[in-house]
Amino acid sequence: MKRVYNFSAGPAVLPEEVLKECANDMLDYQGSGMSVMEMSHRSKVFDNIIKTAESDLRKLLNIPDNYKVLFLQGGASQQFAAVPMNLMKNKKADYIVTGQWAKKAFEEGKRYGDCIAVASSADKTFSYIPDCKDLPIREDADYVYICENNTIYGTKFKELPNTKGKILVADQSSCFLSEPVDVSKYGLIFAGVQKNVGPAGMVIVIIREDLISEDTLPGTPTMLKYKTHADAESLYNTPNCWCIYVCGLVFKYLLNNGGLSEMKKRNEEKAKILYDYLDSSKLFLGTVEKESRSLMNAPFIVNPNVITDPARKEELEAKFVKEAKEAGLENLKGHRSVGGMRASIYNAMPKEGVIALVNFMKKFESENL
Ligand SMILES: *Cc1c(COP(=O)(O)O)cnc(C)c1O
């Protein structure tokens, strides 16, 4: 068996320990005589899996009692509609547009009400997080929306926006559980788990209880009402049982490894290794303003000021991705909309993987410059 260092943005690397546990449980989950994929979501065994997953997540994030945790399907993208359908009382929402995912949420929001972009970093191809200390938030805005970590562009809010008392909604898909957060500052957090937490097919929603009500936009499907799932404790219909189980194992793994403050420390250490090298490199260039750099997703390109022929630049980038793959460093191609390269270095990427990447980059630089 050979495992590679997988820098995919998502679905992404999972802790090896967790994968082994899954393998071990596969045919007979804890004496039940069946796998988690085969059991009823109403069974006692599964009830214990989902309850334990929730209570471990609450411990990890220190989630206050007045917040509900929901394990839902439809991915993060479905929340782009669910959020306005459930939270728009005045049919007005203010969005901070810092990349493609925020833009998609913004466009979807416009289908349901009057949405405006109160800030954007589109002017510099989303390479920074705008100053959000004093934005023109509307008096009657139902919420302020952010994408906290921009998976494609590699930026992260280091400070939450001043929402002027309005509810903050955050898409945390690619930074969820990468560091401690103060949940009480948010009205709603959601995260597609396939980035930093588990397998594809689930989104976790953490929502303040007073925001859950029957009072949704007319026509809101039953399955998109937070109340439906909150009342049924995420078992209104068949949930993604397998995903809940694997996420539960990851939560245990995180708790056993020092929790989120330890993850933050490790993630800062890993990101520093990569960014320090990028800052000293002649051939490679990080594309994000330093103050806005994500700990999770690091995009970089061949420096166009050094390799001035665009065709040669592209050729070198393709060569880099190909040779990296041959060296056991996979999925380093940048998002199709940005080009270049991107290394996603989520919780489960060991420090050794980042060191191997930097060593490879140094070698590539010396051979190609
Ligand atoms: C991947 C991603 C999404 C989309 O997630 P799906 O689960 O595929 O819908 C949304 N937001 C962010 C920040 C992402 O990284």
Q: How far is CA 53 from CA 186, 240, 255, 365, in A?
A: 21, 13, 11, 45
* Ligand 1: residue whose CA is nearest its atom 3: 76
Which residue from 336, 319, 335 is spatially nearest to 327, judged by alpha carbons? 319
Please compute the mean of the pLDDT values over residues 321-344 and round it to a whole number: 95
**228-273 confidence digits (pLDDT tens):** 999 999 999 999 999 999 999 999 999 999 999 999 999 999 999 9
* Ligand 1: residue whose CA is nearest its atom 8: 75
Residues present in the chain in total: 369
C-alpha to C-alpha distance for 136 and 256, rounded to whole angstroms: 43
pLDDT band at 363 (very low <50, low <70, confident <90, very high): very high
**Alpha-carbon torsion (284, 286, 290, 294), positive or negative:** negative
Question: Would you say the CB of residue 196 lies under 6 angstroms from ligand 1?
Answer: no
Query: Catalytic amino acids?
Result: 101, 171, 195
% of the chain beyond a pLDDT of 70: 100
Please compute the mean of the pLDDT values over residues 79-106 and round it to a whole number: 98
Question: Would you say the CB of residue 108 lies under 6 angstroms from ligand 1?
Answer: no
DSSP E strand stretches across 234-327: 284-286, 297-302
Averaged confidence pLDDT in the chain:
97
Pick the range with the lowest mean pLDDT from 171-185, 236-250, 288-302, 332-346. 332-346
Indicate whether 336 pLDDT > 90: no
Please compute the mean of the pLDDT values over residues 126-145 and round it to a whole number: 98
C-alpha to C-alpha distance for 198 and 187, rounded to whole angstroms: 24
Please compute the mean of the pLDDT values over residues 76-91 and round it to a whole number: 98
For residue 242, the surrounding DSSP H or E stretch is helix 241-256
Q: Ligand 1 centre from 191 Cα, in Å? A: 8
Indicate whether 337 pLDDT > 80: no
pLDDT in the model for residue 1: 83
Q: Which of 72, 73, 77, 188 to mutate to test the pocket of ligand 1 (most atoms within 8 A of CB)?
A: 77
C-alpha to C-alpha distance for 38 and 241, rounded to whole angstroms: 9
Please compute the mean of the pLDDT values over residues 282-287 and round it to a whole number: 97
The rounded Cα 210 to chain-centroid distance in angstroms is 25
Rg of the chain on CA atoms, in Å? 21
pLDDT in the model for residue 4: 98
C-alpha to C-alpha distance for 59 and 185, rounded to whole angstroms: 17
pLDDT in the model for residue 338: 80
C-alpha to C-alpha distance for 369 and 356, rounded to whole angstroms: 20
C-alpha to C-alpha distance for 243 and 202, rounded to whole angstroms: 7
pLDDT in the model for residue 339: 87
- Cβ proximity of 87 and 170 under 8 Å: no
DSSP letter, residue 327? T
- Cβ proximity of 168 and 194 under 8 Å: no
Indicate whether 77 pLDDT > 80: yes
Q: What domains sit in the chain, N to C, each tagged with a CATH number? A: 16-256 (3.40.640.10), 259-368 (3.90.1150.10)
The residue to which tokens 């929603």 are assigned: 205
Which residue from 292, 273, 241, 259 is spatially nearest to 343, judged by alpha carbons? 273
Which residues fall within 8 angstroms of residue 275, CB to CB, at 6 or more apart? 286, 290, 293, 298
